[in-house]
């Protein structure tokens, strides 16, 4: 793992992996969404609105996956102090936040025709909204720490502490009464019919590749900013001593 954490090796890998993940993700997500939109029959209970599933579920998983990535990267940063781990955490924050926001928006749009309401303050929806606010806090904290030249330890600790919300989101529909349905896909199998499951898995894979591509792009941008800033500082210091 330390070998891949070398910035030079990371860049040589990320240069070809970033466009590959983005283009592959766009293609797969496009195919999955078109499949879900035009080829899947309406659901017996939810009718045509079942098509929102193919957008809502991948973004929900990646919203939670984004924070899990932040927590793991933060732990790696705190234990091994590797700066690339801090960049990985910052790189996962924006796509995680965007997917959480899309999940909340599509869920709300889905809720109106299915539940008869745009929003309810139940465990699942509220804990997902808390996740969005945690993303806002993490992004602001990480940007402030980078701008002030403060150690990335404070955002890393925030990233680890915030991870307590992930199992709460996951178990919320089991612990509390909710309008939201219980988990349909578990380690024990899937309650979703194969007609819906196949395009859903294509969408999950496509959006996951997109997520990976965006994380790499954001890491490359952060790394380039750091390297440019370090070079300018070194040049200014040399000019001052000349």
Partner 1 sequence: MREALDQWDFVVAAYAVGLAGTLAMVAWSWLAMIRAERRREETRRP
In angstroms, give the least distance from the CB of 233 to partner 1: 10
Does residue 26 belong to the site contacting partner 1 (CB under 8 A)? yes
Binding mask 171-210 for partner 1 (x = CB under 8 A): ------------------------------------x--x
The Cα 215–Cα 191 span in angstroms is 31
In angstroms, give the least distance from the CB of 11 to partner 1: 9
Residue 174 CA neighbour count, 13 Å, CB half = 8
Distances (CA, A) of 54 to 109, 153, 181, 226: 14, 37, 16, 38
Of 81 and 235, the one with the shorter C-beta distance to partner 1 is 235
Does residue 93 belong to the site contacting partner 1 (CB under 8 A)? no
Interaction residues for partner 1, span 56-85 (CB under 8 A): 56, 59
In angstroms, give the least distance from the CB of 240 to partner 1: 17
Contact by Cβ (8 Å): 111, 56: no
Specify the stretch interacting with partner 1 by CB under 8 A; choose among 52-60, 64-72, 129-137, 174-182: 52-60
Q: Tokens 């025709």 identify what position?
A: 113
Interaction residues for partner 1, span 222-241 (CB under 8 A): 222, 224-225, 227-228, 231-232, 235
Of 14 and 160, the one with the shorter C-beta distance to partner 1 is 14
Please give the structure tokens belonging to residue 91: 């790189």
Contact by Cβ (8 Å): 190, 184: yes
Q: Which residues contact 205 (CB under 8 A, 6 or more apart)?
A: 28, 32
Q: Which residues contact 40 (CB under 8 A, 6 or more apart)?
A: 50, 51, 195, 196, 199
Residue 5 CA neighbour count, 13 Å, CB half = 14
In angstroms, give the least distance from the CB of 71 to partner 1: 21
Direct distance between the N- and C-terminal alpha carbons of the chain, in angstroms, rounded to an integer: 41
Residue 86 CA neighbour count, 13 Å, CB half = 24
Of 109 and 201, the one with the shorter C-beta distance to partner 1 is 109
- DSSP one-letter code for 36: I
In angstroms, give the least distance from the CB of 18 to partner 1: 7
Interaction residues for partner 1, span 105-134 (CB under 8 A): 105-106, 109-110, 112-113
Quick one: which of 52, 87, 128, 204 contacts partner 1 (CB under 8 A)? 52
- DSSP one-letter code for 82: -
Binding site for partner 1 (CB under 8 A): 18, 22, 26, 29, 33, 37, 47-49, 51-52, 55-56, 59, 94-95, 98, 101-102, 105-106, 109-110, 112-113, 207, 210, 213-214, 217-218, 220-222, 224-225, 227-228, 231-232, 235
């Amino acid at each position: 793992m330390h070998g891949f954490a070398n910035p030079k090796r990371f860049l040589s890998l990320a240069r070809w992996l970033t466009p590959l993940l983005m283009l592959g993700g766009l293609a797969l997500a496009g195919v999955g969404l078109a499949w879900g939109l035009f080829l899947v029959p309406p659901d017996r209970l939810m009718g045509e609105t079942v098509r929102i599933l193919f957008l809502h579920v991948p973004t929900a998983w990646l919203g939670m996956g984004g924070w899990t990535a932040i927590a793991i990267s933060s732990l790696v940063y705190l234990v091994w102090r590797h700066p690339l781990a801090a960049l990985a955490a910052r790189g996962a924050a924006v796509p995680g936040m965007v997917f959480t926001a899309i999940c909340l928006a599509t869920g709300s749009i889905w809720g109106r025709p299915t539940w008869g309401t745009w929003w309810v303050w139940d465990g699942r929806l509220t804990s997902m909204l808390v996740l969005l606010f945690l993303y806002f806090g993490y992004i602001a904290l990480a940007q402030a720490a980078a701008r002030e030249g403060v150690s990335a330890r404070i955002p890393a600790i925030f990233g680890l502490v915030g991870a307590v919300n992930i199992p709460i989101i996951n178990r919320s529909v089991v612990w509390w009464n909710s309008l939201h349905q219980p988990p349909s896909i578990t380690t024990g199998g899937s309650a979703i019919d194969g007609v819906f499951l196949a395009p859903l898995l294509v969408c999950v894979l496509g959006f996951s590749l997109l997520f990976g591509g965006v994380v790499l792009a954001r890491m490359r941008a952060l790394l380039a900013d750091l390297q440019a800033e370090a070079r300018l500082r070194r040049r200014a210091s040399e000019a001052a001593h000349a």
